[in-house]
Amino acid sequence: MTDSPVWRPFTQHATEPEPPVVRRTHGAIIETDHGLLIDAISSWWVITHGHSHPPIMQAIREASETLDQVIFAGLTHEPAESLARELVALAPKGLTRVFYSDSGSTSVEVALKMALGFWRNTGRPRHRIAVLQDGYHGDTIGTMSVGERGVFNAAYEPLMFAVDRLPFPEGDGAETLSAFEAMAAGGDMAAIILEPLVLGAGGMRMYDPQVLDGIRRICDRHGVLMIADEVMTGWGRTGRTWACDHAGVSPDILCTSKGLTGGAIPLAATLATEDIFQAHWSEDRSRTFFHSSSYTANPLACAAGLANARIWAADGMQAQLDAVAAMQAERLQAIARGSPFTNARQTGTIAAIDLRVDAAGYLAAVGPRLRAHALDRGVLLRPLGNTVYVMPPYCITADQLDQVWQAIADFAG
């Protein structure tokens, strides 16, 4: 593999070893030429039910018998139509429109464009965007602009647009909420974008559901659009289908990707309220929502999404989410008693803990060392700086989860 022309994502080729070659995937397991790995990070948080989940792979196979990509402007197809209906039924109330794209980042770009389009088309142009400190929404220029700035995007800073940053909501979030109220009162705030309950790439930082409720109320008072980026938190990660469900909150715009297809194949959707759709509905073609990507609503991906949505609609998931959350809690509590760790935290199926180190931050040297250590023990981890987290597919067994947490405990021990 050393002569590979592949330039890998978030990979420092000078220091990282050649990666194992994956041969097969099933359940929580990735089979490689170096042996079996337990996927403790759901392959960058996409795999929900398990790898190669039979109903989803079956749906892709069946769809591929009759369809491939077709242009989605001026044509439609059954998998996209059915999936949109299922999504509206599963989503928080009031989200009636579904715009397809192909990745988490594009779903966020679409959300930001919808928000600004809404304000422009209703004759009250607003373009300020509020964001949470330590947020992450993708790696395109627009999504980096609304995310936290740091070593991973310093080179591109000159191209990014300015946003209004709110402090991370500690405790009851009072400081964050009063800062937001003051900003929103200016009357020119178009939208707030946030990851509800768990800031993923920002270090698995978790906050209270009542903060979401507080933000919704402030949005309502000042007409600010609330964009929930559920790209990571959606499809059960936080213990409910959507993180917003914990607060009974409906955003104006919701972004979903990753678990939308159970993680098997790329697809994203941005859901919006009827008001936002109607702001773009006009005899005047200049009010069109001007966004597309070549692979919008790919039929194979939509078929996978539909198979996934039907699993959730069948209501069989809550018990499985509760079981994973309980297994995680037990193991997290056990490891939290060990001195090298601090700040144990959990929201639903996501558990995280920090290694006590002198130099924290994304480039903390401990991260790659722990990753290599876990790999040797058949566990796939990818620490965020000195934060170790376990975000498994929901099919993970107690024994597999033991092996994952043991690998972490051994490292520190």
Chain residues binding ligand PMP by CB under 6 A are: 45, 103-105, 108, 136-138, 195, 200-201, 229, 231-232, 257
Least CB distance to ligand PMP at residue 35 (A): 27
Q: Give the full edge-to-edge strand order of the sheet including 379-380.
A: 22-26, 29-32, 35-39, 379-380
State phi, psi for 104 to the nearest 5 degrees. -60, -45
Least CB distance to ligand PMP at residue 175 (A): 23
Q: Return the number of the residue (138 or 209) whose C-beta is nearest ligand PMP.
A: 138
Q: Return the number of the residue (257 or 386) whose C-beta is nearest ligand PMP.
A: 257
For the chain, give percent helix, strand, coil, nearest 5. Answer: 40, 20, 40
Least CB distance to ligand PMP at residue 123 (A): 31
Q: Return the number of the residue (86 or 195) whose C-beta is nearest ligand PMP.
A: 195
C-alpha 171/C-alpha 208 separation (Å) is 7
The helix or strand, by DSSP H or E, that contains position 142, with its residue range, turns out to be helix 141-145
Least CB distance to ligand PMP at residue 337 (A): 30
Tokens describing residue 368: 């790659």
Task: Return the residue matching tokens 């250590």.
Answer: 373
Least CB distance to ligand PMP at residue 229 (A): 5
Q: Return the number of the residue (195 or 354) whose C-beta is nearest ligand PMP.
A: 195
Q: Give the full edge-to-edge strand order of the sheet including 341-347.
A: 341-347, 350-355, 387-390
Least CB distance to ligand PMP at residue 124 (A): 28
Where does residue 257 fall: left (phi above 0), alpha (psi -120 to 50 degrees), or beta otherwise?
beta
Least CB distance to ligand PMP at residue 77 (A): 23
Q: Return the number of the residue (148 or 327) whose C-beta is nearest ligand PMP.
A: 148
What's the DSSP call for residue 258? G
Residue nearest to ligand PMP (CB): 104
Q: Return the number of the residue (44 or 406) whose C-beta is nearest ligand PMP.
A: 44
Least CB distance to ligand PMP at residue 106 (A): 7
Q: Return the number of the residue (27 or 104) whose C-beta is nearest ligand PMP.
A: 104
Report the candidate in 164, 210, 209 with the shortest Cα–Cα distance to residue 190: 164
Inter-CA distances, 335 with 39, 96, 400, 407, 412, Å: 19, 44, 16, 11, 10
Least CB distance to ligand PMP at residue 277 (A): 22
SS3 of 15-64: CCCCCCCEEEEEECEEEECCEEEEECCHHHHCCCCCECCHHHHHHHHHHH
Q: Return the number of the residue (138 or 299) whose C-beta is nearest ligand PMP.
A: 138
Inter-CA distances, 401 with 5, 29, 67, 68, 115, Å: 35, 12, 39, 38, 41
Q: Return the number of the residue (176 or 261) whose C-beta is nearest ligand PMP.
A: 261
Helix pair angle (78-90, 299-313), 10° resolution: 30
C-alpha 78/C-alpha 85 separation (Å) is 11
Tokens describing residue 207: 């906050």
